[in-house]
Amino acid sequence: MKENIYKPLLVLVIIGCCLITYKASAQNGSINGKVVDDQGTPVSYATVILEGTQFGANTDDDGLFEINNVPPGTYTLKVSNLGYTDFKQSVSVSSSLQTLTLTLKAAFHSLNEVVVVGYQTQKRSNITGAVSTVNAEELSKLPVGNLDQALQGKASGVRITQSTGQPGEGIAVRIRGVGTINDNNP
């Protein structure tokens, strides 16, 4: 007899817990939007975070982002990306969807201190490998027809050669020497 009373009571408690959890999650809001630069061009792979929380997202190729399941409240939204000044904006999150358009301003002066390689970004002072910098203004002043000809002799550790000397013929770019293991070409 006692088992018959406890089973329905247990079922009611479980259903009540599920409803409370469902109602609590339904009150959370979402923030989505687009990150653009001052010309209106979408900014790819920018980091968008709500400061002081674990909520955040990265923009896609079209500059779009979406942060879901954010508890209601007022937060500081921070957007950062390489080559742009950080952008902060106060946002209020409610149970509804909030759509934003955020504009980043270019910060060209900071790019001299950052080195972007194929797998990460580091400050120039922290990098352990060799880095060569070629100034674009110097290259534009050279009387050559191709970029490969302009780069010859300008970057240390990079050897650019043309196999036959015929106009329009292919080139070979060798980084860090001719006798590297496996393959000389990058």
Query: Looking at the domain assignment, is residue 146 inside a domain?
Result: yes
Boundaries of domain holding 160: 132-177
CATH number for 75: 2.60.40.4130
Please report, in tens digits, the pLDDT of each residue of the chain (186 residues total).
Answer: 555 677 777 777 787 766 665 555 557 888 999 999 989 999 988 999 999 888 999 999 899 999 988 898 899 999 998 888 899 999 988 877 778 999 999 886 655 666 666 666 777 767 777 777 777 788 788 887 777 777 777 777 777 787 777 777 778 777 776 655 666 555
Taking the CB of residue 181, how many other CB atoms lie within 10 A of it? 5
DSSP code string of 79-135: EE-TTB--EEEEEEE-SSEEEEEEEE-B-GGGGGGEEE-SS-EEEGGG--S------
* Best CA proximity match to 161, nearest among 145, 148, 144: 148
Query: Among positive and negative, which fits the CA dihedral 143, 147, 149, 152?
Result: positive
Total count of domains within the chain: 2
pTM for this model (two decimals):
0.50
Q: What three-state secondary structure class fits 42?
A: strand
State the pLDDT at residue 90.
92
Q: Do both 63 and 100 map to the same domain?
A: yes
DSSP conformation class of 40? S
With respect to residue 100, please indicate whether it lies within any of the assigned structural domains: yes
| Gap between the Cα atoms of 23 and 37, Å rounded | 39
137 and 173 together in one domain? yes
